[in-house]
């Protein structure tokens, strides 16, 4: 579906709405009910029943901060940061931890792609996200390996109560890169069945930056028209979701496919060449180098509930294929041009099968227990004329037990243990072209033998214990205190054990270490929550100690690979992470609300006596919300990002910035409309976590965004309208 067809879709939806309204007026009995005030909420329920620091992004939050990118939307929650790649891709970071230390789960299944890379984001349709629960801090107990930094769980909304046909048309436009996006969702609820389908598409051009030049590898490069050439792209997503509920039995089935294709800024991929930066007159074409990724996912949940016992089984299959394309170039004279796909530089093909079982039961009025197991198998294949990561197979299995003791309404104590077992088998890779290159340059035979193996065969087994103990204490109707201590772990990834090549996305030669142990650590976090009419305050300090934190260490060794520079090798170190988040909301003068959210993360490499790389700077958001009418809202926000001078060795310092954002939203009977202006003053600033930070490329300039959502609903049988 192309964007130009959306006008026809809008006309179709409008006609359907008129027909539905006419039918309802003529055939349905109208009832007027008294106003109902709901004092509880899904967020408060979760907050009071878990000792972890938890944030809930409901439909109103996601609509009010919608950007077309899930991670950038969630960045409005304190403690969550976005590792951006221009305006197209973003990767989540929680409390300074990112990559394979954060689990993103949908429909009970962990999203599996090439999470280790900084140059790509989540393969997930932002239009299709209805509710998100974010667990900040150690989450290995429930989610297993990769959740030592936290978890982001995407959840569906409950099915409609009435039988009905419904849907939504969503439109998105951005000025900074000419984004044109749209999404169409259709759903039907009939008796025990609920089915919905969605198709989304976004097209965007080269994005604008508030700068005329950038500097990469000490070379100053021009930016013609202030547009970053070849950063255009598009995204196309399709999904189908069906659920069935009858008595104590529930089942759902979901299948979705996400495709993304985005160009790489030529000046930040490989050796800079100013001639490649010349304006080609087309800001929407995608030239080489570029990347594309396709993520296919199919999942199901089977659940049975009876007399306080709930048994749930989740099963999923995923296939993630990622490719990078660049005009064939070789640093070895002996390497021929590939006969097939000569410009395919790298390709990774990852297949994953996941299964999880949970059983929950209530033992009397005081106890609730949960037990379960998780199993996952992965197989990754490679292709392309360059080498970075070998083929591998990975298997993990884990079992857990969690108990919750609640002697009264004020006190909740929870604790649990988990054991995980994992194996990884990595294929060896011998580079015959590198071997000849070294011999031709008269390297010693021992050097040739040591380096011709880009990856040695590796067969490793791992076993880890994790657990947590937490307390929730409701001191009064207004005060809540939470304390949680947890031991978490993470199995080293294939890239950390066996990568060995130039990673253009990170601008360095990355080398794994096959002897690395599992990443393990202890984490303590606390929470103080105060809620009273018109005032909400939360304060969440945390402290983490890792005995074997895996990171890329500059070795000072010069790579034998041509044009590769220094070797960065994955190593383990003792590390400390600490900090806090604070959030405040105050209603005053009837129609005004002041909101404050801030965060600070301190990192320290105990072995190297330096901060850790990619440490997010302190930041704060001050927002004033004016709501003169029930369905109309104006928001003014100042986002302050502090200087980041605590950096790792060979990492650039980043100066801070103050950004001004404005937005206005209106809820009409036929549509929800939101107009936003980000970076109103067109301030030039750097994101310390950005993929393009190394090339001194500033973040996008002023961006005017328009978002329109048009819902429609109509009864189909045996239903009545409720006003």
pLDDT at residue number 268: 64
Nearest to 552 by CA among 651, 426, 693: 651
Residue 337 lies in a domain: no
Residue 118 lies in a domain: yes
Residue 338 lies in a domain: no
Residue 36 has pLDDT above 50, yes or no: no
Residue 656 has pLDDT above 70, yes or no: yes
pLDDT at residue number 23: 43
Residue 553 lies in a domain: yes
**pLDDT tier, 679 (very low <50, low <70, confident <90, very high otherwise):** very high
Neighbour tally for 500: CB within 10 Å: 24
Nearest to 525 by CA among 540, 546, 539: 540
Residue 344 lies in a domain: no
Report the relative pairing of strands 89-94 and 672-678 from DSSP bridges.
Answer: unpaired
Residue 341 lies in a domain: no
347/36: higher pLDDT: 347
Residue 20 has pLDDT above 50, yes or no: no
What's the CATH number where 167 sits? 2.40.170.20
Residue 5 has pLDDT above 50, yes or no: no
> What span, in angstroms and rounded, lies between the C-alpha atoms of 437 and 433?
6
pLDDT at residue number 451: 85
Q: Cβ(167)–Cβ(197) under 8 Å?
A: no
Report, as an integer, the average pLDDT of 519-536: 93
Residue 573 has pLDDT above 80, yes or no: yes
Domain that holds residue 605: 3-332+352-722
Report, as an integer, the average pLDDT of 115-127: 81
Name the residue with tokens 């769980």: 153
Per residue in 267-294, pLDDT (tens digit) is 666 656 677 788 888 899 999 989 999 9
Number of domains the chain is built from: 1
Residue 347 lies in a domain: no
Per residue in 287-331, pLDDT (tens digit) is 998 999 999 999 999 999 998 899 999 999 999 999 999 988 887
Q: Cβ(368)–Cβ(391) under 8 Å?
A: no
Least confident residue range of 58-72, 215-229, 307-321? 215-229
CA within 13 Å, CB half, 441: 13
Residue 688 lies in a domain: yes
Nearest to 1 by CA among 127, 101, 117: 127
Beta bridge partner(s), residue 296:
257, 319
pLDDT at residue number 88: 65
Residue 138 phi/psi, 5-degree rounding, is -60, 125
């Amino acid at each position: 579906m192309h964007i130009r067809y959306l006008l026809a879709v809008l006309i179709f939806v409008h006609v359907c709405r008129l027909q539905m309204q006419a039918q309802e007026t003529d055939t349905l009995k109208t009832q007027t009910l008294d106003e109902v005030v709901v004092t509880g909420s899904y967020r408060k329920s979760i907050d009071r029943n878990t000792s972890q620091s938890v944030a809930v992004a409901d439909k109103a939050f996601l609509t009010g901060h919608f950007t077309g990118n899930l991670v950038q939307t969630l960045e409005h929650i304190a403690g969550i940061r976005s590792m951006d790649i221009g305006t197209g891709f973003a990767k989540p970071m929680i409390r300074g931890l990112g990559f394979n230390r954060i689990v993103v789960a949908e429909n009970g299944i962990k999203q599996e792609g090439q999470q280790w890379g900084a140059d790509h984001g989540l393969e997930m349709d932002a239009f299709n996200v209805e509710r998100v629960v974010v667990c900040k801090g150690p989450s290995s107990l429930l989610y297993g390996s990769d959740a030592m930094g936290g978890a982001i769980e995407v959840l569906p909304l409950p099915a409609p109560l009435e039988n009905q046909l419904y849907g939504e048309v969503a439109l998105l436009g951005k000025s900074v890169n000419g984004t044109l996006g749209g999404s169409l969702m259709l759903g039907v609820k009939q008796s025990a069945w609920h089915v919905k389908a969605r198709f989304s598409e976004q097209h965007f051009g080269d994005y604008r930056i508030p700068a005329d030049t950038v500097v990469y590898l000490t070379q100053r490069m021009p930016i013609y028209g202030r547009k970053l050439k070849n950063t255009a792209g598009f995204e196309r997503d399709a999904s189908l979701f069906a659920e069935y509920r009858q008595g104590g039995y529930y089942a759902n089935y979901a299948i979705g496919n996400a495709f993304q294709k985005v160009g790489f800024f030529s000046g930040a991929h490989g050796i800079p060449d100013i001639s490649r930066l010349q304006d080609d007159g087309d800001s929407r074409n995608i030239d080489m180098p570029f990347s594309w990724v396709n993520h296919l996912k199919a999942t199901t949940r089977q659940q049975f509930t009876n007399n306080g016992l709930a048994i749930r089984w989740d099963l999923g299959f995923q296939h993630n294929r990622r490719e990078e394309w660049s005009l064939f170039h070789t640093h070895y004279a002996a390497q021929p041009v590939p006969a097939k796909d000569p410009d395919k530089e790298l390709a990774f093909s990852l297949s994953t099968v996941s299964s999880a079982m949970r059983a929950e039961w209530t033992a009397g009025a005081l106890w609730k227990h949960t037990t379960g197991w998780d199993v996952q198998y992965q197989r990754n294949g490679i292709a392309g004329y360059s080498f970075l990561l070998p083929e591998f197979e990975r298997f993990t299995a884990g079992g857990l037990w969690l108990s919750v003791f609640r002697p009264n309404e004020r006190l909740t104590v929870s604790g649990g243990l988990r054991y995980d077992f994992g194996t990884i088998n990595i294929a060896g890779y011998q580079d015959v072209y590198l071997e000849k290159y070294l011999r031709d340059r008269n390297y010693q035979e021992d050097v040739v033998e040591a380096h011709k193996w880009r990856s040695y065969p590796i067969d490793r087994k791992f076993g880890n214990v994790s657990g947590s103990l937490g307390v929730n204490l409701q001191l009064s109707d207004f005060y809540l205190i939470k304390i949680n201590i947890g031991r978490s772990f993470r199995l080293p990834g294939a890239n950390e054990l066996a990568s060995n090549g130039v990673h253009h996305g990170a601008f360095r030669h990355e080398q794994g270490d096959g002897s690395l142990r599992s990443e393990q650590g202890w984490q303590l976090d606390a929470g103080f929550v105060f809620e009273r009419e018109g005032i909400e305050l939360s304060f969440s300090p945390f402290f983490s100690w890792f005995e074997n934190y895996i990171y890329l260490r500059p070795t000072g060794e010069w790579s034998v690979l041509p044009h590769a520079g220094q070797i960065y090798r994955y190593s383990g170190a003792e590390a400390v992470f600490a900090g806090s988040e604070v959030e405040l909301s105050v209603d005053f003068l009837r129609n005004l609300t002041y909101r404050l959210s801030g965060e600070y993360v301190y990192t320290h490499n105990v072995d190297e006596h330096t901060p850790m790389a990619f440490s997010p700077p302190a930041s704060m958001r001050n927002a004033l919300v004016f709501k003169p009418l029930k369905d109309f809202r104006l928001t003014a926000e100042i986002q302050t990002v502090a200087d980041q001078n605590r950096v790792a060795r060979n990492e650039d310092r980043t100066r801070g910035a103050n950004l001004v954002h404005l937005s206005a939203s209106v809820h009409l009977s036929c549509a929800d409309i939101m107009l936003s202006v980000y970076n109103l003053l067109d301030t030039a600033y750097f994101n310390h976590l950005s993929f393009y930070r190394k090339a001194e490329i500033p973040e996008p300039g002023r961006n005017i965004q328009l978002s329109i959502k048009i819902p429609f609903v109509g009864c189909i049988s045996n239903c009545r309208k409720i006003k």
